[in-house]
Every structure is written in C-alpha cells, then in structure tokens.
Amino acid sequence: MTTQLQSLKSLRAPIGVGAVIFLVTVIVSIPASAISLFASHSGALSYAGAEGTIWDGELHSASASGVPLGDVTFRLAPLSLLRFSPEVTLSANGAVRGSGTFSVAGGGRVSVRDVKADINLAAVAVRGLLGEPARGEARLEIERLEFSPEDGCLQAAGSLWTNALDAPTKRYNLPALPLSGAIACVGDQLEVTLAGENVRMAADVRLHLNRTLAYEVTATARASEENIASALRVFGFEDDNGALTYGSVGILTGVGS
C-alpha cells in the first residue's frame, strides 16, 4: 500500500502538467465563431462568418450597431487577461477603415491607443448638418485615450479632420470648408475641437463629453455676407457678439446619437 501511495504521489506532477497543457490547448483552440456566444446577448455585433481562434482571427462582413465594418481582423493579447484588462487589436476595412488597440478594465474603464481610421460619414452618421444628409469623411488619429464612467476623461491625445461641411456649404455656393482639430482632456471631460475657414466663412465646433456620456456641442460661425448669416439663422444659429452660435446637448447612446 505504501509503495502504491508513493507511486501515485510521484505521478501528481506529470499529471498536473499534462492537465494544464491540455487545458491551455483547449483554450487556445477555441474557434473565432465562439464570439457569437457573446454577440448574441448584446445584439450590437453581427457577422457573416469567422475564421481563426478567439485569440487571432477574422470576422467576415461584420457590423457593429448597424455600422458596416467589412472584414475585421483581431488579435487578443493573452497576457492582458492576467491583468484583468483584456486588450485586443482590431483592423477593419468597411465604413471604418483602419486599426487600433482597445482594452477594458474594472469599472468599465476603456483605453484606446494607436488608432488611425478613415470614417465614411454617410454610413456611420444618422443625420447630417445644416439640412444635408451626412456625407464625406472623417480621419481620426488617437495616440491614447482613457475614459471611465467613474472618473471621466483620464488622458487623451489625438487629432481629427473632416469634410462634413463641404456638402452643406456647396448647397449655398460656398467654397469647401474642411475642419480639423484635436482631442484632449479638459478636467474630467473629453473635449473635441474643430476649426476651419474659407474666404467667405469661418467656423469652429467644440464638443464636451462627461463621465455620464452627456455631451454638449457648441458651434460658432462668422460669415462675411448677410445672406450666409441669414441661412445659418434658419438652421437655429443665433447672433452672439458679432458671430453666430448654435448649441446642442444630449446623451451619447451609440453611433450617430
């Protein structure tokens, strides 16, 4: 009996190692199609097919909240799970074309870095500007962004460019008016600023987003001609110290909200 017990004890280590190897092999081999188990609950993500594993794979004809993303490749960093902050690098070629790295930590803290993306506004935005359907593109670069429901904006650095105003300005026979600006933290709020100018008009837009995802947008325009100012008043702009301003508030609930 003693000999048998000693034999069993001597087998514990190799059996344990074998069990760990088996478990790791099973986990690493989980197919990418298993994502459907999570996607079916949220309803936000859908796709036509999947290849690879949940660690390194590709979703075909994917969409998120109705936004077509095309084929999306992803790579999950295994070590990030040990930090209880899953980190995934994504690349898409649909309405959003580009790549970036995203992670989620405790308390819903979201971190974003190394994002470079071109966005088709017609496919992403629910509504456009100044009576025109959403058109044009936006180019987004985020070096880093960290935001949490508890503390709000913790760090942010990036830039944004868009020609979203080109369509409505063309409607009024105005030159193109591309806007560009930066992304930053102001206190605990995320701030996005945009500004642009042509020979007949200047405009700037400022957006603030707080930790509850309540946003405030303020647009300021300076027109060189009264007919342009009159058109802006039709869309809700009000005179303010020689300029025209427009404000909007709401709660960010999803794309285009």
| Measured distance CA(144)–CA(232) in Å, rounded | 35
**Surface-to-core class of residue 205, CB atoms within 10 Å of its CB (0-12 exposed, 13-18 middle, 19+ buried):** buried
**Cα-flanking dihedrals φ and ψ of residue 93, to 5°?**
-135, 25
pLDDT tens digits for range 51-71: 888 788 898 999 887 889 999
Residue-wise pLDDT tens for the chain (257 aa)?
A: 555 445 444 444 444 443 433 334 444 445 556 555 555 445 578 888 888 887 888 989 998 878 899 999 999 888 887 778 889 999 999 999 999 999 988 888 999 999 999 999 988 876 666 666 778 999 999 999 999 999 999 999 999 999 998 888 887 788 999 999 999 999 999 999 999 999 999 999 999 999 999 999 999 999 998 988 998 888 889 999 889 999 989 987 755 55
pTM for the whole thing?
0.81
Identify the pLDDT of residue 31.
52
pLDDT tens digits for range 84-127: 888 999 999 999 999 999 998 888 899 999 999 999 998 887 66
Contact 178, 121 (CB under 8 A): no
| Measured distance CA(15)–CA(20) in Å, rounded | 9
- Angle made by CA atoms 165, 155, 162, in degrees to the nearest 5: 10
| Measured distance CA(75)–CA(73) in Å, rounded | 7
**Of 127, 128, 62, residue with least CA distance to 96:** 62
- Angle made by CA atoms 17, 23, 25, in degrees to the nearest 5: 100
Distances (CA, A) of 225 to 5, 140, 201, 202, 235: 96, 32, 8, 12, 16
Q: Which two tokens stand for residue 97?
A: 């074309």
Cβ-count burial 58-72 (b if 16+ within 10 Å, e if not): bbeebbbeebebbbb
Identify the pLDDT of residue 246.
92
Identify the pLDDT of residue 5.
44
Identify the pLDDT of residue 25.
41
Identify the pLDDT of residue 127.
67
Q: Which two tokens stand for residue 95?
A: 């309405």
Judged by DSSP in three states, 47 sits in coil
